[in-house]
Amino acid sequence: MTRPTPVPDTTGHFGPFGGKFVPETVMAALSELEQAYAHAKRDPRFRSRLRALLADYAGRPTPLYFAARLSEALGGVKVYLKREDLLHTGAHKINNTLGQGLLAVRMGKRRLIAETGAGQHGVATATVAALFGLTCDVFMGEEDVRRQALNVVRMRLLGARVVPVSAGTRTLKDATSEAIRNWVTTVRTSHYCIGSVVGPHPYPMMVRDFQSVIGQEARRQVLSAAGRLPDLLVACVGGGSNAIGLFHPFARDRRVRMLGVEAGGHSLSPGHHAATVVKGSPGVLHGAASLLLQDRFGQVLSTESIAAGLDYPGVGPEHAYYRLIKRAEYVAVSDAQALQGAALLAKTEGIIPALEPAHAIAALARMARRLKRGTIVILGLSGRGDKDVQTLAQHLTGDGDGSTQRRV
């Protein structure tokens, strides 16, 4: 196993992945952002302001909760949940949008642009725009507007304009493409607040840095609670920001195993899943080299997932790098398994997760029988399930004795 580098190189590459593959009109804006972020990282006032907002506005630190009943149901592994679902807005996305919002204000930008799938990043961006007095446009595929109607209402209440995208599969990939097109024409006044560790440099590094507060806290908390580092980290992966946020502070601890869980959709046949690391190949998407789902001609494939936040045909370049050097493992979980993962956590711990981290719960349940009793696991609970209750209601039905079955 090769040890991962702590940061990308000066050109924004994680080994062969990352970099900048964008139109010339965007290069100046990326250079401006890179310089502004480099200066902000060194500015004690910026760091202090961000820490204060994360604590007093977002609600950090989040608990590292020992899930005793879930642990026993899984055969005695010790499962700790990193409760990002308890943050303001209901997910980890606020960690990143607060950082990028502060940076936008520092750069004199008065408008935020965002893409969103599950709606959580859109809500977090709209929240920060309202907090800082900025205008906000959120691009969202029409399919996601339909299945995440609650978050659409939340964004509009916060003053954002939700722009439905009808192109392609009408999901996250197409929303991202449309947001980038809009940014190209408004770079002087707008900041594109990318929601995951994707896109051209410096975004994968910058979003990772803002999300690394997850793993930094978890590291301190598990040492206090268990007296040692965990054996295993588990997190869902779409673009991959919550997973990188958990993984990165442990990346140099070789004895800590890291498992990323992707969306297996209906099947692993092309076009019916979003398991990019598991089934993808090297290519360029949305401004960066990484792994993506594509056909033999290099055309990006359609994706399917019950979890809108995982319904994306690419992945962050740092994840692709971790897979390359065998620092992290990646598996796929089907829609049906994710639904059972959500039901399992709800029934054992009284916590309804978002469908995205439900994939991680399902993967852990599937592998638990191969883990020794007492194995310490930290699972990234990246969001709460309020937004997915309608979807859960359509697919799951209780039979009256406390069990939950998938409706067929």
- Looking at 93, 109, 173, 387, which residue is catalytic? 93
- What letter does residue 304 receive in the DSSP assignment? -
* Helix or strand run (H / E) with residue 99: helix 93-107
Q: In angstroms, rounded to a whole number, what is the distance separating the alpha carbons of residues 326 and 319?
A: 10
For residues 321 and 14, the answer to whether their CB atoms sit within 8 Å is: yes
Residue found by looking up tokens 């007095």 in the block = 133
Alpha carbons 27 and 13: distance in angstroms, whole number: 16
From the candidates 115, 143, 217, 356, which is the catalytic residue? 115
DSSP 160-203: PEEEEE-STTSSHHHHHHHHHHHHHHHTTTEEE---SS-SSTTH
Concerning whether 34 is annotated as a catalytic residue, the answer is no
As a whole number of angstroms, the distance between CA 264 and CA 334 comes to 4
Residue 27: count other Cβ atoms within 10 Å of its Cβ.
13
Q: What angle do CA 401, 406, 408 make, to 5 degrees?
A: 125
Q: Quote the CA–CA distance of 384 and 87 in Å, as a whole number.
A: 9
3-state SS track over 250-283: HCCCCCCEEEEEEEEECCCCCCCCECHHHHCEEE
Q: What is the DSSP letter of 45?
A: H
Alpha carbon distance 364, 7 (integer Å): 29
CA dist 91 and 152 (Å) reads 15
Q: Between 172-186 and 24-42, two packed helices, what is the crossing angle to 10 degrees?
A: 90
Q: Is 93 labeled as catalytic in the residue annotation?
A: yes
Annotation marks residue 41 as catalytic: no
Q: Which of 71, 212, 382, 387 is catalytic?
A: 382
Instruction: Say which residues have a Cβ less than 8 Å from residue 100's Cβ, sequence separation at least 6.
Output: 112, 128, 191, 193, 194, 206, 207, 210
DSSP 229: -
SS3 289: strand
Q: Which residues are catalytic?
A: 93, 115, 382
